[in-house]
Amino acid sequence: MKNKILLFSSLVLLLISIVLTVSVYASPATKVIKWRMQTLWDPGSPESRLQERFVSRVKELTGGRLELTLFPPGGLVPTMEKFDAVSKGVFELMNSYAGYWIGKVPELAFTASVPCGFTDAWQYEVWFWEKGGIKLERETWGKHNMYYIAPTIYEQEPMHSKVPIRSLADIKGKKGRFVGMAAPVMAKLGVGVVSLPTADVFPSLEKGVIDFADRGGLAANWAVGLQDVTKYILLPGFHQPTSVIFYAANMDAWKALPEDLKAILEAACREASAILFTHIHAENIKALDKFKKHGIEVIYLSEADVTKAREVAITVWEEYGAKSPMAKKVLESQKEYMRLLGLIK
């Protein structure tokens, strides 16, 4: 069923793109609109290359009427400052992870990643597009002068460690990098949590600032060299079993776009999500083999430990759900769908 859903989604997005391409090239070109976009990913990583592809795709689909200039992490503002920068119109578009700003907007905790929550990317995809998630998300970001265009959803993130962690008991007292709702969950499990931007994970592991970390998918982590600063991979990534990156635009810039360019940009973002999921899934399988051949030990937590972690995670869900009326609304919507999936009672 999962494969059928992904295949169907990919075909639909392909058809949308073909139709949009034909309609754009059938129209006379008008003035060129130029936007700046800061991404989350380190230059040279698989995800960064996919953002380069996204930029090219937008130019292609719009017949050159919308040009995006891509900036790396920190290229315009520090990663943690992107929320305010896009809200104020410092630049027009960001590709990022909402978990960085759950202290500012608690409901974002549920639309970045839910620890021990959705177990597969397609479940999150369905919640966003069929269970009302996208409407709730756009309402949230609209309050901060931004338009949430679309999520890009992929699978679990592992933990990379300098020390062996063979059970939940072994993480107590360790220093670990986590963001989003994973941070308070790991703190309750006894971790000394350090919140860092993605680009700071490698140097922090290298210098011994932290003992272990989550950072991204296996392929991205291989690309930036985590195999050279860690010795172990911990699976499953219960703290972040599925991950949501997103595209959000300054609201004023969004409203100024012609209607056809809005539609094209939304379609391009959804296409990017399908490409990200399938490409990263394939690359992660190859990357895991590379890590093993490099001498990295892969440790799998027991189901009993994952169950213990889930019990803690659910208490954190409820804490964040109580932080605002919208957070409660988003949590209840997700829990309703999780019950249908049999993930919770």
Contact at 8 Å (CB) between 58 and 66? yes
Q: How far is Cα of residue 336 from the mean position of the Cα atoms in its chain?
A: 22
At 12, is the pLDDT very low, low, confident or very high (cuts 50, 70, 90)?
very low
Write down the pLDDT at residue 16. Answer: 54
In the chain, what percentage of residues exceed pLDDT 70? 91
At 277, is the pLDDT very low, low, confident or very high (cuts 50, 70, 90)?
confident
* Range 264-277 burial, b when 16+ CB lie within 10 A, else e: bbbbbbbbbbbbbb
CA nearest 178: which of 216, 208, 151?
Answer: 216
**Residue range 256-267: average pLDDT?**
97
- Residue 34: both structure tokens together: 């130029």
Residue with tokens 């494969």: 3
Greater model confidence, 16 or 40: 40
At 46, is the pLDDT very low, low, confident or very high (cuts 50, 70, 90)?
confident
Write down the pLDDT at residue 115. Answer: 96
Contact at 8 Å (CB) between 77 and 137? no
pLDDT in tens, 14-35: 445 544 444 444 344 468 999 9
174/211 Cα distance (integer angstroms): 6
Domains (range + CATH), the chain? 2-155+243-283 (3.40.190.170), 159-240+285-341 (3.40.190.170)
Write down the pLDDT at residue 263. Answer: 97
pLDDT in tens, 68-104: 999 999 999 999 999 999 999 999 999 999 999 999 9
Average pLDDT, the chain: 91
Write down the pLDDT at residue 19. Answer: 45
20/23 Cα distance (integer angstroms): 5
At a CB cut-off of 8 Å and minimum separation 6, what does 118 contact?
A: 124, 127, 241, 242, 334, 338, 343
At 259, is the pLDDT very low, low, confident or very high (cuts 50, 70, 90)?
very high
245/318 Cα distance (integer angstroms): 23
The answer to whether residue 4 scores a pLDDT higher than 50 is no
What predicted TM-score, i.e. pTM, was given to this entire model?
Answer: 0.84
The string of DSSP letters for 155-172 reads ----EEESS---SGGGGT
43/111 Cα distance (integer angstroms): 25
**Residue range 302-327: average pLDDT?**
96
Write down the pLDDT at residue 10. Answer: 53
Greater model confidence, 151 or 199: 151
pLDDT in tens, 187-237: 999 999 998 888 899 999 999 999 999 998 899 899 999 999 999 999 999
At 13, is the pLDDT very low, low, confident or very high (cuts 50, 70, 90)?
low
* Phi, psi (deg, nearest 5) at residue 222: -65, -45
Q: What share of the chain is helix, strand, coil (3-state, %, to 5)?
A: 55, 15, 30
- Residue 72, preceding bond cis, omega within 30 degrees? no
The answer to whether residue 169 scores a pLDDT higher than 90 is yes
At 280, is the pLDDT very low, low, confident or very high (cuts 50, 70, 90)?
confident
